[in-house]
Structure 1
């Protein structure tokens, strides 16, 4: 049986999540989402044809990884995700893990970045058996350089805490800011050849599209 698409998986996860919320929480989530979609969030994000800002970030094993160093060996697939608490991110990371060998076969390296502190990222990587690089972007410094910052709506913050999602504790940051989920296929000269950037945080780039972009380089 063929593997269900990532978009189908995230849609089903969203429907199940919303269906289990009390009516008042459904309304709060819906209004916050409408506000996000009406905002200019990520309108000026780095996109196709632009240059990917270079960076150095710590990995879950506390070893620094520099983008330009990784690109010296071949293209890079760079994925910004919100955190280990995000079910849509976990679906994406699992989907990427299933295709990591195909990505490597294209001569590329897969790098995932979240604002979570390194020890949380390590636990997450181990839990999901991730074999690619997982980096910690504390305070969303690099996400900001890519133009990917979004604010968790004030009305959602108490709900997050009620749901056990303490972002300030997970990220060691009181800002309640997250990266807009984004995936970049970056050529060796740091040119972005393909990108998926969507403030609808349930929308992710299909692994098949990543592979297609890599094969076109």
Structure 2
């Protein structure tokens, strides 16, 4: 799937739209406590975020949807690092506002080896302060190319999360946050994995020294 392009993706209006959302100022950042949420996976099974971060490092990837080519590229890049995540005892959960059925299709189409969650009620996107209402020019564009976001997300809203990647430790503290106004750019898995490896090594040293 090639990335779906629009004028919004390629010119300075992207910066203006992002600034207007206020997300740069309010989104959760490194050092903040992560908000908890309980979301269904593609099968409808409920997954509580805190249940996973208590087991070890949790990587959260917020993406717009399977219709977004840049998001699919990002998810496939993470799929290729599944073994690295497993070696570090880390879990990756990918979150979008798509319905469970559309989330399941995204996982199947990209042959993903990790869990994809549905955030149709925007519980997680709002909790991390990433959700924003699309401006009229984007509503018109996506409508013109047949990307009916209110239907894909099952909530009747022209609302999406800004793409973001978080790493959360066992105490629920955010240790890494990447929130990107340019939807063509995402956190590199290698950079995120280095953060996770540092966390794992620091925890092992703490246990070994009893500190």
TM-score class, shorter: 0.7 to 0.9
Q: Partner residue of 2:97?
A: 115
SS where residue 34 of structure 2 aligns?
Answer: coil
SS where residue 111 of structure 1 aligns?
Answer: strand
Q: Partner residue of 2:19?
A: 38
How many corresponding residue pairs? 197
- Once residues 190 and 48 of structure 2 are traced to their aligned partners in structure 1, the CA distance between those partners, rounded to angstroms, is 26
Question: Are the counterparts in 1 of residues 3 and 68 from structure 2 also a CA contact under 8 Å?
Answer: no
Please tell me whether residue 174 in structure 1 is matched to residue 156 in structure 2.
yes
Say if 1:34 and 1:72 are closer, same or farther in 2 by CA, change over 3 A.
closer
- Once residues 166 and 81 of structure 1 are traced to their aligned partners in structure 2, the CA distance between those partners, rounded to angstroms, is 16
**Deviation readout 1:54-103 (Å, 9 max, x if unpaired):** 11111112111111111222110011100011111011001010111101
SS where residue 139 of structure 1 aligns?
Answer: coil
Question: TM-score, structure 1 length as denominator?
Answer: 0.84
Q: Partner residue of 2:208?
A: none
SS where residue 93 of structure 2 aligns?
Answer: strand
- Once residues 9 and 79 of structure 2 are traced to their aligned partners in structure 1, the CA distance between those partners, rounded to angstroms, is 34
Say if 1:211 and 1:32 are closer, same or farther in 2 by CA, change over 3 A.
same
Say if 1:63 and 1:160 are closer, same or farther in 2 by CA, change over 3 A.
same
Question: Are the counterparts in 2 of residues 42 and 147 from structure 1 also a CA contact under 8 Å?
Answer: no
**Deviation readout 1:146-170 (Å, 9 max, x if unpaired):** 0101222211212211112110110
Question: TM-score, structure 2 length as denominator?
Answer: 0.87
- Once residues 100 and 28 of structure 1 are traced to their aligned partners in structure 2, the CA distance between those partners, rounded to angstroms, is 29
Shift of 1:43: 1.9
Q: 5 Å matches for 1:83-94?
A: 83-94=65-76
The correspondence for 2:107, drawn from 104, 118, 125, is: 125
SS where residue 50 of structure 1 aligns?
Answer: coil
Q: 5 Å matches for 1:68-217?
A: 68-217=50-199
- Once residues 149 and 33 of structure 1 are traced to their aligned partners in structure 2, the CA distance between those partners, rounded to angstroms, is 15
Structure 2 unaligned regions, length at least 5: 200-211
Q: CA RMSD in A?
A: 2.0
Question: Are the counterparts in 2 of residues 47 and 192 from structure 1 also a CA contact under 8 Å?
Answer: yes
Shift of 1:49: 0.6
Structure 1 unaligned regions, length at least 5: 1-11, 19-25
Runs of at least 4 residues of structure 1 off by over 4 A? Answer: none
- Once residues 31 and 139 of structure 1 are traced to their aligned partners in structure 2, the CA distance between those partners, rounded to angstroms, is 30
